[in-house]
Amino acid sequence: MQTNISDKFLDNPHIEDAESILRSCVHCGFCTATCPTYQLLGDELDGPRGRIYLIKQVLEGNAITVKTQTHLDRCLTCRSCETTCPSGVRYGRLVEIGREVVDQQVPRSITQTALRILLRKIIPYPNRFALLLKAGLLFRPILPETLQQKIPVPQASGTVSVAKQKRKMLMLPGCVQSVVTPQTNNAATRILQKLDIELINAPKVGCCGAVSHHLSATEEALGFVRRNIDAWWPYIEQGAEAIVVTASGCGVVVKDYAELLKHDTEYADKAMQVSTLAKDISEVLRDEKLPTLTSNQSGIKVAFHSPCTLQHGQKLDGVVERILDKAGFKLTQVQDAHLCCGSAGTYSILQSDLSQQLLGNKLSSLQADQPDVIVTANIGCQMHMASKAKVPVKHWLELLDESLG
């Protein structure tokens, strides 16, 4: 694709990336076949190829409109198109750049602006989120059913003993996950301890930066990124083997720290090392010999939803499935397993109608073979599906933890 970037954007440090990505697109349209929003809406501008054209027009100096912003907002950034693309177009990165440029030029309504600020000021902070959740649970009985479904009931935190081990790995506890499903991290700790690995939660580690990043609050996101690097760095210098992430939506961002800070002379090298050390926990368990399962757990019928951030973002399609299969669980066949469940971070709040349509389609596929349980690898997907699923929805680590002897 030929480009003619407007001079007014040439001082933007990300424009070189954007132009390179634009030029890698060959207009084939394979991406539209696997795009969830194109499948729902049938509009070329609500598919990757159409959005690429919109971003090209923006960066070449054409008028930026609310319509352009709307089409970019509807993108889930699921990156299914990247898995399909024969040319290796880094569409997710292009959309991030395009959205930021558009948001700087097109003001949002007061309501939209307030909601986005609220999300940025609550979700990344576990204590604030926990308070809001308590308030939501208090008023839940009198709320409309549609709102009741959006308020998750948190798990009991439980306890887990941490024994000192020679092998040490860092962890990212997560914001929402640490409040709503604390047993996920507890399960990870117990499983890794069985492998003689100590999981360390470094003080001052916080949000990975995903919420701010996806809402085009770039400097705010980079603040979270730098804080986490500073918190982890002493342990990295002491030889920590990996940074283990149990929420794939966070993992894909931590693995992208090197890209996010490549222009930061102070942090670029450290960010590169952090991205290299970042591992979804499935990558760790894939390479380790797990203890044997207890006999009463084998044969459970499991439907696995592979989050977009795991299969498309981190390119780990099939890894969790192989671990569960090897462990003795009976995995169902899920039609259109590559498609998004509609959670996509804050998408389920900001694009509720589209999100609910995608959720309905996903649950129909997952529940078609009547599983005993649905498992996934990301807290956002877990909460979203649990709001309407007919069977329990868990993180796959909980299932594995319950089954290890």
For 109-160, the pLDDT digits (tens) are: 999 999 999 999 999 999 999 999 888 888 878 777 767 777 887 777 667 7
Looking up tokens 């602006």 gives 113
Query: Under a CB-based contact definition with an 8 Å cutoff, are residues 396 and 324 in contact?
Result: yes
Give the range of the structural domain holding residue 375, as residue numbers without chain letter.
Answer: 301-403
- CATH number, domain with residue 32: 1.10.1060.10
Kindly state whether residues 312 and 395 are assigned to the same domain.
yes
Kindly state whether residues 231 and 308 are assigned to the same domain.
no
Asked if pLDDT for residue 349 goes beyond 50, the answer is yes
Question: What is the predicted pLDDT for the residue at 210?
Answer: 96
Kindly state whether residues 319 and 381 are assigned to the same domain.
yes
Question: What is the predicted pLDDT for the residue at 292?
Answer: 63
Core vs surface per residue 28-57: b (16+ CB within 10 A) or e:
eeebbebbbbbbbbeeebbbbbbbbbbbbe
Kindly state whether residues 352 and 375 are assigned to the same domain.
yes
What is the mean predicted confidence (pLDDT) over 191-201?
Answer: 93
What is the Cα–Cα distance from 366 to 152, expressed in whole angstroms?
Answer: 20
* Domain assignment present for 96: yes
Question: What is the predicted pLDDT for the residue at 145?
Answer: 73
Mean pLDDT lowest for which of 170-174, 240-244, 326-330, 389-393? 326-330
* Domain assignment present for 291: no
Kindly state whether residues 42 and 86 are assigned to the same domain.
yes
Residue 374 parent element (H or E): strand 373-376
Asked if pLDDT for residue 295 goes beyond 90, the answer is no
What is the Cα–Cα distance from 47 to 330, expressed in whole angstroms?
Answer: 35
* Domain assignment present for 162: no
Kindly state whether residues 238 and 330 are assigned to the same domain.
no
Question: What is the predicted pLDDT for the residue at 196?
Answer: 92
DSSP 92: H
The domain boundary, picked from 233, 260, 286, lies at 286
Kindly state whether residues 114 and 83 are assigned to the same domain.
no
Query: Under a CB-based contact definition with an 8 Å cutoff, are residues 91 and 31 in contact?
Result: yes
Question: What is the predicted pLDDT for the residue at 358?
Answer: 98
Asked if pLDDT for residue 257 goes beyond 90, the answer is yes
Q: Which residues neighbour 270 within 8 Å (Cβ) at sequence distance 6 or greater?
A: 229, 233
405 — pLDDT class (breaks 50, 70, 90): low
Asked if pLDDT for residue 163 goes beyond 80, the answer is no
Mean pLDDT lowest for which of 102-106, 162-166, 269-273? 162-166
* Domain assignment present for 155: no
Question: What is the predicted pLDDT for the residue at 378?
Answer: 98
Total domains present in the chain: 4
What is the mean predicted confidence (pLDDT) over 342-371?
Answer: 96
297 — pLDDT class (breaks 50, 70, 90): low
Average pLDDT score, the chain = 93
- CATH number, domain with residue 171: 3.40.50
What is the Cα–Cα distance from 80 to 36, expressed in whole angstroms?
Answer: 8
Kindly state whether residues 130 and 222 are assigned to the same domain.
no
What is the mean predicted confidence (pLDDT) over 364-392?
Answer: 96
* Domain assignment present for 64: yes
* Domain assignment present for 2: no
88 — pLDDT class (breaks 50, 70, 90): very high
Among the listed residues 182, 177, 256, 246, the one whose alpha carbon sits nearest the alpha carbon of residue 221: 256
Kindly state whether residues 59 and 118 are assigned to the same domain.
no
Kindly state whether residues 281 and 307 are assigned to the same domain.
no
* Counts for the chain of helices (H) and strands (E), in that order: 23, 8
* Domain assignment present for 137: yes
* Domain assignment present for 238: yes
Largest CA distance in the chain: 67
Q: Which DSSP string do the residues of 307-335 spell out, in sequence order?
A: -HIIIIIS--TTHHHHHHHHHT-EEPP-T
259-292 tens-digit pLDDT:
999 999 999 999 999 999 999 999 999 988 877 6
Kindly state whether residues 246 and 343 are assigned to the same domain.
no
Kindly state whether residues 99 and 116 are assigned to the same domain.
no
